[in-house]
A and B are shown apart, each in its own frame.
Chain A
Amino acid sequence: MNTFLSYAVPGIPFGCTYAIVAIGLVLTYRTTGVFNFGFGAQAFLSAYVYTVLTEDGVSVPLAFLISVVILAPALGWALDRFLFRRISPTNTTGKLVSAVAVLVALPQIVTLLFGSSTRFAPPTLFLNPGRVYFHAFSTPINGLELETVIVTVVTVVLLSLVLRGSQLGMTIRAAVESPRLLELEGVRSERVLSVAWMGSSLMAGLAGVLLAPQYPTVQPEDYAILLVAALAAAALGSLADIPLALVGGVALGVIEGLASGYFSPSSVWHTGLLPAIPFLLLALLLVGRRRLRSLEESDDPLAGCDPPPPPSILVTRSHELDRVVRVGGRVLALATIISVLTWVPGDWGFTLTSGVVYSIVFLSITLITGMGGEVSLCQATFAGVGAFIAAQLAVHHGVPILLGAVIGAGGAAVVGAVGALPALRLRGLPLALLTLALALLADNAVFPYSWAGGPPGGLPVPRPMIGSINLATTSSKGFFVLALAFLFVCAVAVKRVQRATVGLYLGALRGSSIGAESVGINPSTAKILVFALSAGMAGLGGALYGSLQQTVTPADFNYQLSLVFVVVVVTTGVRTIEGAIQAGVGFMVLQQLLSYLPGRWGGGGIAIVLFAFGSLTYAAHPEGVVEYEKRIWTQRAERLIHRRHPPTNGVVMAAAPVGVLEGVPDEHV
């Protein structure tokens, strides 16, 4: 018993760090309707500023005031005002991707502003970190730990009082469900949501500053990992219950304490299971907890007030213009290819080849998000599965790399299909969280092993041999052609699926899954199929990426890349094949261009920031920047063409677009 307690008790203060982040997540979700992945980044920002200020000799209370009481709510206000307010409350994909954009972009912005010099742990808020205040079951409790526990408990009590049953709590919940319906009661919903954002951001800042002294240095990665680990605690409370989130957080800390105590440090459990515990729990909770399945399953009752979404430009474009665009596109593509093969210098050739390979990975997102309507946060993991299979086969069994890539794609497809099985009943946010848990499980419990992710130095991957031509020696031009060929095959495959009956079923499922099922469409088959195809394509892209780089390491495929990928593709255009290709090539070209910038601006960070800012435009036109620009330019061109003889006024009279946008209430069951 004593051993048990001596392992369990130290877990409690650490569990409180999970708890305070979990509570913050639940609070943001409940009061703003957004599952705020950005919470970790917001916490990091406040912690960072607090650290910088205290390093510069500002007193702790003043630094706290600036970084938590002023900065954090100001950031929350801005996020609401410029980003989340513009996204419809029923647009699950939009909210998810925008929140992920905040998570990946904010630390990059901090680096751009402050440089990347190491910041060491700042002072604690009010207790002496070195002093042991008392012993609990013979475990010494120091000021750092005590402070965390006190602040966490006080926060939970305060929040529960404010939110439970009061008029304010009700109003906030109503504003989350439908801001417009609430306005009909005379409430300024925007203001309510603004306050909610400021409040929950204050919480993020508080959590950040509270936790900063616990880590030796202040780094965004720690906060991102803490965030996803805290997800498990939040999931225990079904993302809705604050006291349960506290229990979940503390329980998670205790479980980890017990596990690290009882598993011997040399055992495979210690290295393999321990770091994966939160993600394993998260996955189990998502699959097992019924309340999590029905998250966000109500719709905006006033959606009929919005104009119908504009039809794809491919449908409305006139034939002449269509031909011009098609021919123009082909000429441009051909010119690029010829340029790469003739005069483009080597580093740019490499960049464009990478762009082509990335396009293949990004096409997998077109499949799963654009066609399947679901956000997956583990596409880089699938790419990694393909890459590691191909590399291991090549290194240990001498399998030719191209064959290995195809086998790797098949392996990834199997992983995708198997991964879809527990996800069959999930969609939207819980499904995205499950994919994130899978990505982190792979990062922590699979890829670190040398049989999977290779030895610490990385796994060598050969370039392919075609006949007697070694693509490693003939510069990267041969590889460019090869990658193009693969991209072409993948694009044709995606197009084929889009136009097949399955594509029709997927369109039906995206529109109304209840309606689709009622005519005999099996949503499970569709989901498994889309996951398998998408994972396979990502795996193929990953294997080619490895071959291009000639070495792969687990860091090439970690969960953060999955997040970046989704943001990049969705902001560019997730519904079309061109969107994926433009995203892939554009992302690499942008990074190459930015590398010419001096100093800290030259890193890859600014590209991520730019794409994240792209998510601001995503909010306004969810079809993606590329599709939006295409429509605008098509309309301009057509206006130019038709200036002489305009079509009949361009206005459709009468028939207000009721259709599926209106209707009568469903008998909810």
Chain B
Amino acid sequence: MSEHQGVLSVRSLSVSFGGLVALDRVDLDVAEGEIVGLIGPNGAGKSTLVNCAGGQLEPTSGSVALDGVPLTGKAPYRRARLGVGRTFQRVALFPELTVEAHLLAALRAGRQRPGRWSELVDHARPSAAEARQIDEMLGLVGLADQHDTQVTTLPLGACRLLEIARALIARPRVLLADEPSAGLDRRESAMLASVLAQLPAREIGVLLVEHDLGLVARVCDRVVVLDVGHVIAEGSFDGVMETAEVRRAYLGQGVA
């Protein structure tokens, strides 16, 4: 890990809902160009962690930082502008907007630009430079010919890929992907894997919450296993899967 520069660092993060502890002093780092898989049994606190990083949830204690800048207490839109991109377990697209409009909105909103007042009267049409970025991004996720498609008519796989494109277009530093393969068929999963595999080259870190271990094994550099709010194992996929604790808690196998 020393060869990487840390992008996202989670320190001693704890969350409790009422009396229930969802996360208990969790530490986690994602380095630039690294894909970290976050796995664990249902209710282990995976999405809770992602929501704390994305700003949808405030932790009870502990901190989250991006490139050393503390994120705690910042609203989600601020974190997005600082470089936190994310997707949702349940896709959160904008039903009234076309595919292109999704990316344009994300592109324009996702940057700290001077003169935001002009947004009141300018035109919501992509400039030549923006159009190039949108084309490039749609090409990456395989939606190149779908600019004007209404998202309500897209199949689920395309929706998830569009969500990834929307998160990536403003060039975030880290991508938080919450179960992106849930509900995808084999073909769509393969497409997703190939998109994810290209991300390290874009100099960002990825935190991938997944249950599809095939996908995790294929794309992740490192895996962190959560159980009842604790990190129970960390390391390479194969190494982690050997751990007795993981086999018991996650794979549900007795240790012979």
Contact = CB atoms under 8 A, between A and B. Distances in A.
Interface of A: 308-309, 311, 496-497, 499-505, 507-508, 510-512, 514-523, 529, 652, 655, 657-667, 669
A522 B183 contact: no
Contacts of B57: 669
B159 A519 contact: no
A518 B76 contact: yes
Contact of A657 (B81, B110, B153): B153
Contacts of A520: 77, 80-81, 106, 109-111, 170
A504 B104 contact: yes
Interface string B46-57: 011001001111
A505 B164 CA distance: 18
B232 interface: no
19 contacts: A309-B152, A496-B120, A497-B121, A504-B108, A507-B105, A514-B88, A518-B77, A518-B85, A519-B80, A519-B109, A652-B153, A657-B152, A658-B154, A658-B156, A659-B158, A659-B159, A663-B90, A664-B182, A666-B88
Given A311-B150, A508-B97, A518 B155 contact: no
Nearest to A517: B76
A519 B75 CA distance: 12
Contact of A522 (B54, B77, B122, B150): B77
B90 A501 contact: no
Contacts of B179: 664
B173 interface: no
Nearest to B84: A518
A662 B122 CA distance: 34
State the 10 A-B residue pairs at the shortest beta-carbon distance, nearest first: A511-B94, A515-B92, A667-B47, A520-B80, A519-B106, A501-B119, A308-B152, A520-B109, A520-B110, A666-B90
Q: Which of A309, A311, A512, A667 has the most CB of B within 10 A?
A: A667
B92 A659 contact: no
A608 to B, nearest CB: 31
B89 A500 contact: no
A511 B96 contact: yes
Nearest to A501: B119
B80 A529 contact: no
B90 A511 contact: no
A660 B167 contact: no
B156 A507 contact: no
Contacts of A529: 120
Contacts of B54: 518
A663 B97 contact: no
B217 interface: no
Interface of B is mostly: mixed
Contact of B95 (A505, A655, A660, A662): A660
B77 A521 contact: yes
Contacts of B241: none
Interface string B82-124: 0001101111111111000110111011110000000111111
Given A521-B105, A521-B109, A512 B93 contact: yes
Residue from A518, A661, A663 with most neighbouring chain B CB atoms (10 Å): A518
B166 interface: yes
A505 B105 contact: yes
B36 interface: no
Contacts of B39: none
B103 to A, nearest CB: 9
B151 interface: yes
Contact of A516 (B55, B90, B94, B183): B94
A660 B151 contact: yes
B167 A519 contact: yes
Contact of B77 (A311, A517, A663): A517
B153 A511 contact: no
Given A504-B124, A521-B105, A666-B88, A659 B94 contact: no
B109 A663 contact: no
Contacts, number: 168
A660 B151 CA distance: 7
Contacts of A505: 105, 109, 119
B89 A666 contact: yes
B120 A497 contact: yes
Contacts of B104: 504
Interface centre among A309, A504, A511, A662 (most CB of B within 10 A): A504
A652 B17 CA distance: 46
B83 to A, nearest CB: 10
Given A500-B119, A519-B166, 6 more contacts: A497-B120, A505-B105, A659-B155, A663-B159, A666-B89, A669-B51
A131 B48 CA distance: 63
A225 to B, nearest CB: 38
A664 B122 CA distance: 36
Contacts of B178: 667
Choose among B80, B96, B105 the residue with the greatest number of A CB atoms under 10 Å from its CB. Answer: B105
Contacts of B95: 308-309, 511-512, 659-661
Given A507-B96, A507-B101, A508-B94, A523 B152 contact: no
B129 to A, nearest CB: 15
A669 B102 CA distance: 25
A311 B148 CA distance: 12
A500 B119 CA distance: 6
Nearest to A529: B120
A511 B47 CA distance: 22
B111 A507 contact: no
A522 B76 CA distance: 9
Contacts of A659: 91, 93, 95, 151-156, 158-159
A521 B113 CA distance: 12
A660 B110 contact: no
Interface in B171-193: 178-179, 182-183
Contacts of B90: 663-666
Contacts of A655: 153, 155
A667 B88 CA distance: 9
A455 B244 CA distance: 84
A234 B150 CA distance: 41
A510 to B, nearest CB: 6
A470 to B, nearest CB: 35
A502 B183 contact: no
A655 B159 CA distance: 13
A666 B48 CA distance: 11
A657 B105 CA distance: 23
A179 B156 CA distance: 25
Contact of A664 (B123, B154, B167, B183): B183
B110 to A, nearest CB: 4
B137 to A, nearest CB: 13
Contacts of B121: 496-497, 500
Nearest to B157: A658
B122 A500 contact: yes
Contacts of B106: 519-520
A522 B77 CA distance: 6
Contacts of B123: 499-501
